[in-house]
Amino acid sequence: MATARRAWRLPAAAATLLVLLLACSAAADDASYDDDAGGPRTPGCSNKFQLVKVKNWVNGTEGATVVGLSARFGAHLPRDMHEAQKSFAVLSNPFHCCSNLTSKLTNSVALATRGECAFTAKAKTAQAGGAVGLLVINDNEELYKMVCSENDTSINVTIPVVMIPQSAGKKLKGFLDHGASVEVQLYSPNRPVVDLSACFLWIMAVGTIVCASLWSELVACERVDDRYNQLTRKDGPNTGTNYSEDKEIFEISAKGAIVFIIIASVFLLLLFYFMSSWFIWVLIVLFCIGGIEGMHVCLVTLLARIFKDCGQKTVQLPFLGEGICLMITVLQMARLPNIRVASALLSAAFVYDIFWVFISPLIFHESVMIAVARGDNTGESIPMLLRIPCFFDPWGGYDMIGFGDIIFPGLLVAFSYRFDRASKKGILNGYFLWLTVGYAVGLFLTYLALFLMDGHGQPALLYLVPCTLGLIVILGWVRGDLHDLWNYRKGRMENLVDEP
């Protein structure tokens, strides 16, 4: 029974690593917009794109706030709601706002549909009619960037121009068509420099790696000098512990690391082109099963630590066995044997992450990694992400990091802890502490890059791999341990592990 269970669980570890690799980017939230791809900048057409809150009242009753996007041209909107002017909304006539208007727009915000003429022409027509602002209804739910054409060499638009989604525009138009009084208020609040959600994610990611690395010794009471690459049962009469189960460990090889990256890339493309809501729900269900199973493992391990007499009392569930804790247990079950394999895995993942975040838009017209992580085609994001709502951001959204950005550097940090224990190194002259600090610094640099790039999704491994793999290679070279780290299973460290 144990053999069958092991035969099922070891491929499950490899499959889990592949799925986790799909979520290896720290993605931006939905409130972020790239300001670079915004057409030519000319005098009067050089504004930065800003998200805009459009508060509205229908016959004095406040409705749901609409989120719009300001144009490259026009007046800047106030940042504070109390500084924003409340104005009546009026339908432009003709509705496309491209020719002389017959409707009276004095001191009103004009509501017009997209099409028929340039955005700048609509703005000039509304401004000439006395409007104090223009809301352009898009023909879909996306917020299109309103830019100037190459022929617009000098723009003199002095009113704010904002695009709103199709559904919100139709709703406002319906109220106006039925004679309702509609008032609107336009403002664009600033986002906080740092939101607490990013701090929580940082603590959770670093804490998970530290906990997973120390779990075996501090919680599960596992012997740290056991040869971790052996998958043998310890059923002998002289073991004297409650932990006589088989050591079910999936040891990664250099060849396997490259295969992981290739298969993950193919799978990522399949998700990008064929991802549907039903498939996301399948992933969510499987994730929930794995999460419940993992919680069972952690709770049972903690209880066995406290109540040692209960260690031999087990309950067997068909197919599930003891289960996989999606991050802590994966870091226990999947292990790197040495720095040589770590270099192959993390270097390949480094290139993988950069390609699918930064280079893929040149080929597929958008970032494949970010599109899959956010679930752009289905509205549902894949479950292999840590997502925390932004606490103080007026635009809402989430800060997120992929499980792969924790698991893959975490494999190296966990290896450094085993190496330190086997070679009897202290905290300061070992590698575990410094790699933990390196991971923390790398994750900080990731979120710093997110801030500097105005929330555009970043490949987290771009910063995490140099701060972990690069750090252990440099430290090992300086200390003279690089040969032992590179050939851990073949060198003197293996002899140290065998010692009683």
CA 178 to chain CA centroid, Å, is: 44
Q: Which helix (H) or strand (E) holds 89?
A: strand 86-91
The contacts of residue 172 (CB under 8 Å, 6+ apart) are: 56, 89, 111, 135, 182, 184
Please tell me the distance from the alpha carbon of residue 215 to that of residue 301, in angstroms, as a whole number.
10
Active site members? 353, 405
Beta strands in 356-465 (DSSP E): 385-389, 398-402
* Residue 242 near residue 312, CB atoms below 8 Å: yes
Question: What would the DSSP string read from start to end of 95-137?
Answer: TT--S---S--TTEEEEEES-SS-HHHHHHHHHHTT-SEEEEE
Cis status, amide bond into 94, omega within 30 of 0? yes
Cα distance between residue 343 and residue 139, in whole Å: 49
Contact 146, 136 (CB under 8 A): yes
Give 80's Cβ-side CA count (13 Å radius).
Answer: 2
Residue type at 211? C
Q: Which among 418, 433, 378, 218 is positioned nearest to 305, based on CA atoms?
A: 218
